Amino acid sequence: MSTLFVSDLHLDPARPEATLAFLGLLAGEARRAEALYILGDLFEAWLGDDDPGEPGAGVCAALTALADSGVPVFLMRGNRDFLFGPRMAERCHATLLPDPCVLSLYGQPTLLMHGDQLCTDDTAYQAFRRQVRDPGWQERFLAQPLEARKAFAAQARAASRAHQQGVSESITDVSPATVEATMCRYGVQRLIHGHTHRPAIHQLLLDGRPATRIVLGDWYEQASVLRVDTDGFALGGL
């Protein structure tokens, strides 16, 4: 059996095919997995645990069914669903993970992250991230009516698209120096993350020792899945 990792599904009513593909994974291959880890951006936007809309309700029900079948489900907040709260995790019968966290994966310590913290050259984004991750900001935001939160999310997505078009790809990718410093800080030789939508397996050296950085892909076209077992890992699609 494998442990499955996904990230950056960006599930949204405008892209029902992605939701159907994920529901297929939950009802099929994931039922035979040892665990499922979702490393952020499961949804295009999450405006609070009080939002009953789709595809959230249907996906939460499918995650609950998977967890109740005996497959542990783990959720990590991303830059689009950073407002996941305890009620969301309870609803899905899932465990909410801190970002970052270290997992012993088949005997090897492995650092799990969404990945946006590694993009330190994008100073404008990092300033925005600090703002919206502030507990006081989140409390004030969640106190607003749902429609006001939806308007803010639409505005934020438009600003993000404009920002992405106005900077080079190297700025929005991870900083190699930050990657190395982060892996050294946590004492690991393997890192798994998403966020950048640049699926790849990178080999590097940390203090003269071989290390691996695995980048999960998105679900806009490829439905990226990382499968890890006792024999190693494979990054592919459905």
**135: CATH:** 3.60.21.10
Angle at alpha carbon of residue 216, lines to 215 and 218, rounded to 5°: 135
Predicted pLDDT at 167? 63
The count of structural domains within the chain is 1
What would the pLDDT profile of 79-88 be if each residue is shown by its tens digit? Answer: 999 999 888 9
Binding residues: 8, 10, 41, 79-80, 114, 122, 160, 164, 195, 197
- Hey, CA dihedral for 31, 73, 130, 170, is it positive or negative? negative
Per the structure, the complete domain to which residue 137 belongs is given by 3-236
Of the candidates 60, 93, 59, 87, the residue with the CA atom closest to the CA atom of residue 74: 93
Binding residues for substrate: 79-80, 122, 160, 164, 195
The residue type found at 58 is G
**Scanning the structure block, which residue is given the tokens 């024999």?**
231
| Alpha carbon distances (Å) from 211 to 54, 179, 187 | 40, 11, 11
Binding residues for Mn(2+): 8, 10, 41, 79, 114, 195, 197
Q: What is the mean pLDDT of residues 190-194?
A: 98
- On whether the CB atoms of residues 217 and 197 are closer than 8 A, the answer is yes
What would the pLDDT profile of 67-125 be if each residue is shown by its tens digit? Answer: 999 999 999 999 999 999 888 999 999 999 999 999 999 999 999 999 999 999 999 99
**pTM for the structure as a whole:** 0.94
